[in-house]
Structure 1
Amino acid sequence: MAFLDWVLHPTELWAAFWYVMRHAPPDEKTVKLQVSGDMKRCYDFLEMTSRSFAAVIQELNPKLRDGICLFYLILRGLDTIEDDMTIPGAKKRDLLESFHKIIYQDGWSFKESGPDEKDALLLVEFEVVISEFKRLPDEFQEIIADITKRMGSGMAKYTRSRVESMEDYNEYCHFVAGLVGHGLSRLFSESGLEDKSVGENLELANSMGLFLQKTNITRDINEDVIDGRCFWPKAIWSKYAGSEETLISKSNRENGMKALNEMCANALSHIPDVIEYLSSIREPSVFRFCAIPQTMAIATIALCYNNSRVLDDNVKIRKGEALKLIAASTDLDNIKRIFYRYLETIEDKNSPDCWTFEEVRKIVDKAKKDIATTLKGGPPVDFTKEYLAIILFFVTLFTFIYQYNASGF
């Protein structure tokens, strides 16, 4: 199946080739970054916990690179505690609410993670993160500690509460992702690489985080319900099912699809803010850092919309598709073209029998119109490139076979 994917999407194979050529192995990266000791170990943890974020973080301007690496690892540690269902509730809340103090405690580590917690080693060796965090400029430390405090408090709240209303849903997503957007935006401005307005317009920064988080929550419904939790707001799923388990049941598939499409529509509503935020970013490495996750999100929502597989499994975009998005996320015009293309994909999938047909049609039409009116050269039309690449691939293949046979070997 993987080979067939490459054959049917040869431009993704080309993108994968260039990605491999551009990105050195992890050990070579850290040597190139000229880091050693605890900071080198921090970059090792960055590679272990997020291969996708690791690449873009290590390509950031040196004024931001270490600070955002440590910001990511601190929040990953916090998130690892929140996700660990083996930690008793009271103890988990205490850890979450005090984590902003823990990051100043020399030598602190946590060895009580559950056996299935994939990022447990980060908490076991967390003293290296603390050591390097305390070396950051005071202004960076204050921003990171503030976001950690607010996020930990919000996470602790939702260990007791369920996501019931749409207000709960937006608040939860703000705590776990919108605040990340706040912190990053403030760090961008504090570094001097971006205008002060980037760190002040936190509503747009919040939307950046919400679009990513809502995409992940929408996609992960099957995995989450199996693990005994659900972050889809009850205000949505209760209209279509009596329980979370019934929501993903094959016997309730038509109603489950209605709930899925409503979740997708809610995520899509953040697109105007995402485009506006990205239009305010000037430094190239910061732009790529911000833009790449957003392109992954729009591709994922396009994959999830009206797709029954989401209720049965954890669907993901193809690796080649992801690498192609990484390669293309270089400037605002390219990002607009990517969004426009996936909006067209959603439009094609949005049949009149979809429960959310009118809502999604309005969101997609407006977003496409806004993009088309500001895009240099007008709306993109590049689907033919993939088909031309497929034709070229097969012409080359058959030419090779013909010459091979003609040579008499």
Structure 2
Amino acid sequence: MPDTIVTTTTLDDTRYQDHILQGVSRTFALTIPQLPPTLRAVIGNAYLLCRIVDTVEDDSALTPEQTHKFATMFTEVVSGNVAADVFAQTLSPLLSDHTIPAEHDLIRNTSTVIRITHSFNPVQRQALERCIRIMSQGMAAYQEEASLSGLENMAAMDLYCYHVAGVVGEMLTELFCDYSPEINQHKSTLMELSVSFGQGLQMTNILKDIWEDRKRGACWLPRDVFLKEGFDLNELQPEYPEPGFHNGLGTLIGTARSHLWNAMIYTSLIPSHETGIRRFCLWAIGMAVLTLNKINRRRDFTIGQQVKISRRSVKATILITSLLARQDWALKKIFTVASRNLPAIRIVEQ
């Protein structure tokens, strides 16, 4: 990591970051402001860095070679070895209408985001750089191998989830521990649980986005789970629901639930007086559990919109978890009740 870069952010940079967060993610635009002020800027910035990587991976107009090139290039931008303007000016004209307008805007303003990145302390920058490096390498590799056949097995799904979400959990934990010596006392346990936390959220997204991913020619489900139920993912069609596919979904729903329980344990290790960090975690867990419930009740869904939780459910999650953010016993009880109809699957360590 270059130590010679000294960057001063401006009020305009900060305003842009706050503004673009609203455009690229309503969920994170809601949760990040709950964090303590000293964490908001760095975690908001971290999310935007990850979103840039996602944009490179998701745009169908880019060839696998271009995806790999820009993912690698962005890693060097974050490290300070390549100018952000060069990255933005090269990538921006290649993006298609598949990329939403807010993400087009984010790419064009990469230099603004990076100025903020380079203003953080060495521990924060190292955490961000490591996350983006691992995420970029993993996403580019998986993009080249994407197919409708799915991933080989559950271990491959675990590894995929690590590259796109588990490493984010590790980064957040590094930032939380840098912020608070009290949190840092539990660092080793938190780091272990953070990967599971990330996987629970990512598995929920994978299940919700099954059909949208297939339209893009990708499937992130593990073949072995469905083959055990007598179903081949190559045969998957939304018009022809198969019991074997629904049973496989049940296994993955239960696995995701187990990871989200670990996320609850993670949250309980955050000091109870750090209610902002706890809300940041709890809102994500609560919305994921509600989404899993909708998927479980309607395993024959054909578009993600059918299992999207309502704004009313989001508001209820925010209200309940905020009121009880300090009460570990109550939070765990609510989780148990809210997930009582989900399959119970024990996570087997690979």
Shorter chain as denominator, the TM-score bin is 0.7 to 0.9
Q: Which stretches in structure 2 are left out of the alignment for 5+ residues?
A: 1-9
Written as runs of structure 1 = structure 2, the 5 A alignment for 1:192-203 is 192=180, 194-201=182-189, 202-203=191-192
Q: Is the 8 A contact 1:186 1:200 kept in 2?
A: no
**Equivalent residue number for residue 230 of structure 1:** 219
Shifted more, 304-313 versus 53-62: the winner is 304-313
Written as runs of structure 1 = structure 2, the 5 A alignment for 1:5-16 is none
| Candidates 337, 343, 346, aligned match of 1:341 | 337
Judged with a 3 Å threshold, the aligned counterparts in structure 2 of structure 1 residues 362 and 207 are, in CA distance, closer, same or farther, namely closer
Written as runs of structure 1 = structure 2, the 5 A alignment for 1:281-360 is 281-282=270-271, 283-314=274-305, 315-330=307-322, 331=325, 332-346=328-342, 360=343
Normalised by the size of structure 2, how large is the TM-score?
0.84
CA RMSD of aligned residues (A): 2.1
Q: What percent of counterpart residues are identical?
A: 25
**Equivalent residue number for residue 167 of structure 1:** 155
Give the partner amino acid of 1:328.
Answer: I
Q: Distance in 1 between matches of 2:181 and 2:24?
A: 27
Q: CA deviation at 1:333?
A: 3.9
Q: Distance in 2 between matches of 1:90 and 1:227?
A: 17
Q: 2:98 matched to 1:116?
A: yes
Give the partner amino acid of 1:296.
Answer: M
Q: Distance in 2 between matches of 1:318 and 1:230?
A: 26
Q: Is the 8 A contact 1:215 1:297 kept in 2?
A: yes
**Equivalent residue number for residue 58 of structure 1:** 33
| Candidates 213, 221, 245, aligned match of 1:256 | 245
Shifted more, 49-58 versus 304-313: the winner is 304-313
SS of the counterpart of 1:270? helix
Q: Is the 8 A contact 1:221 1:310 kept in 2?
A: no
**Equivalent residue number for residue 185 of structure 1:** 173
SS of the counterpart of 2:301? helix
Judged with a 3 Å threshold, the aligned counterparts in structure 2 of structure 1 residues 197 and 96 are, in CA distance, closer, same or farther, namely farther
Q: Is the 8 A contact 2:196 2:259 kept in 1?
A: yes
Judged with a 3 Å threshold, the aligned counterparts in structure 2 of structure 1 residues 117 and 237 are, in CA distance, closer, same or farther, namely farther
Q: Distance in 2 between matches of 1:225 and 1:194?
A: 44
Q: Is the 8 A contact 2:257 2:339 kept in 1?
A: no
Q: Which stretches in structure 1 are left out of the alignment for 5+ residues?
A: 1-34, 347-359, 364-409
Q: Distance in 1 between matches of 2:339 and 2:19?
A: 37
**Equivalent residue number for residue 383 of structure 1:** none
SS of the counterpart of 1:249? coil
Q: CA deviation at 1:312?
A: 4.8
Q: How many pairs does the alignment contain?
A: 316
**Equivalent residue number for residue 118 of structure 2:** 134
Written as runs of structure 1 = structure 2, the 5 A alignment for 1:61-72 is 61-72=36-47
Query: Which structure has the greater CA radius of gyration?
Result: 1
SS of the counterpart of 1:308? coil
Q: Is the 8 A contact 1:208 1:274 kept in 2?
A: yes
Q: Is the 8 A contact 1:257 1:306 kept in 2?
A: no
Give the partner amino acid of 1:288.
Answer: R
Q: Distance in 2 between matches of 1:235 and 1:61?
A: 43
Shifted more, 71-80 versus 226-235: the winner is 226-235
Q: Is the 8 A contact 1:100 1:146 kept in 2?
A: no
| Candidates 18, 21, 24, aligned match of 1:49 | 24
